[in-house]
């Protein structure tokens, strides 16, 4: 199930994170391929664990809300490309979704990503990440159609996800940068690549935070 090494250089991934265009004719962000590879590797590892250890099956009944009766006949790469094609969520959304998935698995150690739950987990985390990152978003009903679910199903998944996460959705600049660096390391060749620390998206977040501090300071003076 794990994919072969990606034919993407860290420099290309970094450039995509820096200069990705939101025009309608934009290519699929490179981060999607890296994201898909990481998820597929995690699924393969979990499958080996479950085969070797029967006790490793999910113990958290609430987390099983993401399980479907049959595994969808669509690869992770194809599913992520479909989500991008219809939502046009930028690269930073997928990075934040990866942060959320990592936090979710840490907060719910009885949960393991598998072929039966990965698609629902992805559409939920990407939708929540999009709401956190993007200024404008589609309705849940639209994300549900894109993900192949009913609106009621996705609403329920979102609510369960938020409670299972303890509503810990904030991603600061340093966390965002560290996950971007992790994605870059995944496609580095020979380990000699110097990781670029200053990502445009992180700089935009930092700039907004500084602008808000300035505004609040001025507002206090005026009062």
Identify the top-confidence range among 9-13, 83-87, 181-185. 83-87
Confidence of residue 109 (pLDDT cuts 50, 70, 90): confident
The total of other beta-carbon atoms located within 10 Å of residue 143's CB is 25
Tens of pLDDT along 28-69? 888 898 899 899 989 988 888 777 765 555 555 666 888 887
Coil, helix or strand for 33? helix
Between 209 and 197, residue with greater pLDDT:
209
Instruction: Output the six-digit token pair for 72.
Output: 């969808």
Instruction: Output the six-digit token pair for 166.
Output: 């303890």
Between 29 and 195, residue with greater pLDDT:
29
Coil, helix or strand for 55? helix
Q: Give this prediction's pTM.
A: 0.75
């Amino acid at each position: 199930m794990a994919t072969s090494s990606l034919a993407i250089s860290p420099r290309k991934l970094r450039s995509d994170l820096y200069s990705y265009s939101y025009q309608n004719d934009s290519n699929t962000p490179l981060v999607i391929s890296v994201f898909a590879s990481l998820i597929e590797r995690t699924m393969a590892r979990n499958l080996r664990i479950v085969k070797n250890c029967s006790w490793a099956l999910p113990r958290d009944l609430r987390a099983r809300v993401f399980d479907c009766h049959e595994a969808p006949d669509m690869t992770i790469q194809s599913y992520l490309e479909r989500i991008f094609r219809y939502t046009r969520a930028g690269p930073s959304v997928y990075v934040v979704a990866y942060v959320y998935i990592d936090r979710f698995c840490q907060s719910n150690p009885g949960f393991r990503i598998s072929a039966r739950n990965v698609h629902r987990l992805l559409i939920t985390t990407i939708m929540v990440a999009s709401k956190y990152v993007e200024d404008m978003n589609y309705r849940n009903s639209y994300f549900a159609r894109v993900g192949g679910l009913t609106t009621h199903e996705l609403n329920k998944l979102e609510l369960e996800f938020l409670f299972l996460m303890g509503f810990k959705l904030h991603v600061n600049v340093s966390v965002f940068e560290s996950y971007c660096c992790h994605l870059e390391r995944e496609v580095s060749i020979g380990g000699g690549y110097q990781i670029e620390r200053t990502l445009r998206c992180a700089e935009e977040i930092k700039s907004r935070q500084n602008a808000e501090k300035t505004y609040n300071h001025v507002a206090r003076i005026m009062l």
